[in-house]
Amino acid sequence: MNRNEADKAVSPSAPSLLSMEIGSDGWCLQAQRHPSSNCDPRAADVVVDLLVIHNISLPPGQFGGHYIEDLFANRLDFKADPYFQQLQSLRVSAHFLIRRDGMLLQFVPTVARAWHAGVSCFAGRERCNDFSIGIELEGTDFIPFDPAQYRTLALLTGALRTRHPLTTVVGHEHVAPGRKTDPGPFFDWDDYRKLCIANAKASTGAGCAGMALRFHGDASTTPKTDA
Ligand SMILES: [Zn+2]
């Protein structure tokens, strides 16, 4: 069994998850943990109120395997693919990765700062890593994401909202325009929003929690004071 098959072997339970929980230590109880050293403490007074959605695949367009975990662990074999050469100086991470089959991996606890957004700005606030949680979807800018990924993402979003006062979800492309393009045109913001609202209704009977979260594309996510 190669590594790719091994990944698949542990994944079937993920799409059928019905709920998720983020512990007080910032680790999701249902995620497969791959702790990364590419993180640092958040400022004591910071309010984590932003969710940033990304896409990643290594090499680009190829799914499965262990290269994303390796990159976040600073152990990527740079000779394994020509594309990896340009990643040699990177020290990056995200809090979460959602595989094509919906499996959830976590690298950094949400109480810490992951290094996912880089130079970025939201509503006039720079360095989005300081006050955001980063979620990578395994994918590219050029093909649709899998329904299983949306299901996991919506469950995770709901769980994160019970632990952090999230107000807004944006894409990396929205906080680093001109520099980043992910999650890209195939990420379906409308489907994602609907799933979040449906989950909130199912868990609370009201759905108001889901609707209070602002998603990119909502009129209210365009900050009036943003430069
Ligand atoms: Zn990104």
Ligand 1 centroid, distance to 124 Cα (angstroms): 19
Ligand 1 centroid, distance to 170 Cα (angstroms): 11
Burial class (CB in 10 A: 0-12, 13-18, 19+), 21: exposed
What pLDDT score does 18 carry? 73
Burial class (CB in 10 A: 0-12, 13-18, 19+), 81: middle
Ligand 1 centroid, distance to 12 Cα (angstroms): 26
Ligand 1 centroid, distance to 7 Cα (angstroms): 23
- Which pTM was predicted? 0.88
User: How many angstroms separate the CA atoms of 96 and 106, rounded?
Assistant: 4
Ligand 1 centroid, distance to 23 Cα (angstroms): 25
User: How many angstroms separate the CA atoms of 144 and 10, rounded?
Assistant: 24
Domains of the chain are 30-54+92-218 (3.40.80.10)
Cα three-residue angle 39-18-33, rounded to 5 degrees: 25
Over residues 150-161, the pLDDT tens digits come to: 999 999 999 999
- pLDDT digits (tens), the chain, 227 positions: 444 444 444 444 444 567 899 999 999 999 999 999 999 999 999 999 999 999 999 999 999 999 999 999 999 999 999 999 999 999 999 999 999 999 999 999 999 999 999 999 999 999 999 999 999 999 999 999 999 999 999 999 999 999 999 999 999 999 999 999 999 999 999 999 999 999 988 876 554 444 589 999 776 554 443 33
Which residues are known catalytic residues?
Answer: 136
Q: How far is CA 227 from CA 52, 90, 121, 131, 175, in A?
A: 19, 29, 10, 19, 12
Over residues 101-124, the pLDDT tens digits come to: 999 999 999 999 999 999 999 999
Residues 180-211 as b or e (16 or more Cβ within 10 Å = b): bebbbeebebeebbebbbebbeebeeebebbe
User: How many angstroms separate the CA atoms of 96 and 105, rounded?
Assistant: 6
Ligand 1 centroid, distance to 5 Cα (angstroms): 26
First to last CA, the chain: 52
Q: With contact defined as beta carbons under 8 Å apart, do 103 and 153 qualify?
A: no
DSSP 145: P
